[in-house]
Amino acid sequence: MNSQDFSIVTLVMHASWVVQLVIAGLMLTSLASWTVIFGKLFSLRGLRRGNEDFEREFWSGKNLNDLFTAAGQKEGDAPMTRIFASGMREFLKLRERRVEAQGQLDGARRAMRASLQRELDVIEGNVGFLASVASVSPYVGLFGTVWGIMHAFVGLSNVQQVTLATVAPGIAEALVATAIGLFAAIPAVVAYNRFARDIDRIAIQLESFIEEFSNILQRNASGTVPTTVAGR
């Protein structure tokens, strides 16, 4: 391979089959991580928009029974909608059973906490995959590089005179694996950190809503069913 052949494609084609296998795996992993990244970007954006829309509607003073009815008709709308529906459903169920006021509040809070955990499990889906890609890909690429360098030096064992020109192609072929590993890992690291911060913000928003809605239920637990919510 002459100096004009030092392109990525040529280096990969001349690499050993182990290095080629490592590179192929890293490329597939990179493609999968980018699929997860774009999917998570759009899903989190939709979740934030849905939460904001419901929160705005909730604090507008709209009838809670109407909100509860609407929430039951659009279960796939937003996490905050489903958390509200689970809390309101449990509150009304315990009220019908004439459970004491504190029991009504505790039951509604437990229902909302359980719903929150389910929502966070869904929201955090595939984020762990990005963390794995970010941590493992550089080492997989390094393994391919080490193997490629070993293969290159074994191939030079029968060469009488070793020069930089004879060593460079094999080293370059091996180093491609490390480059591909970093290519897969760096976007995954950046995306994971970004999504972790976004998910934390969503979790805090949902936690705050649970506390605020619990306060509303507490004020009305011993009286009639709350019909509206005053603005903040």
Please report, in tens digits, the pLDDT of each residue of the chain (232 residues total): 444 455 666 766 766 778 788 888 999 999 999 999 999 999 999 999 999 988 888 888 777 778 888 777 665 578 999 999 999 999 889 888 888 888 888 999 999 999 999 999 999 988 999 999 999 999 999 988 888 787 777 766 666 665 555 666 667 777 888 889 999 999 999 999 999 999 999 999 999 999 999 988 887 766 555 555 555 5
Tokens 């909730």: give the residue. Answer: 58
3 secondary structure, DSSP code: G
Paired tokens of 81: 């909608």
Global pTM exceeds 0.75? yes
Residue keyed to tokens 């020069």: 163
Strand, helix or coil for residue 170 = helix
Q: Could you give the angle at which helices 17-58 and 101-123 cross, rounded to 10 degrees? A: 150
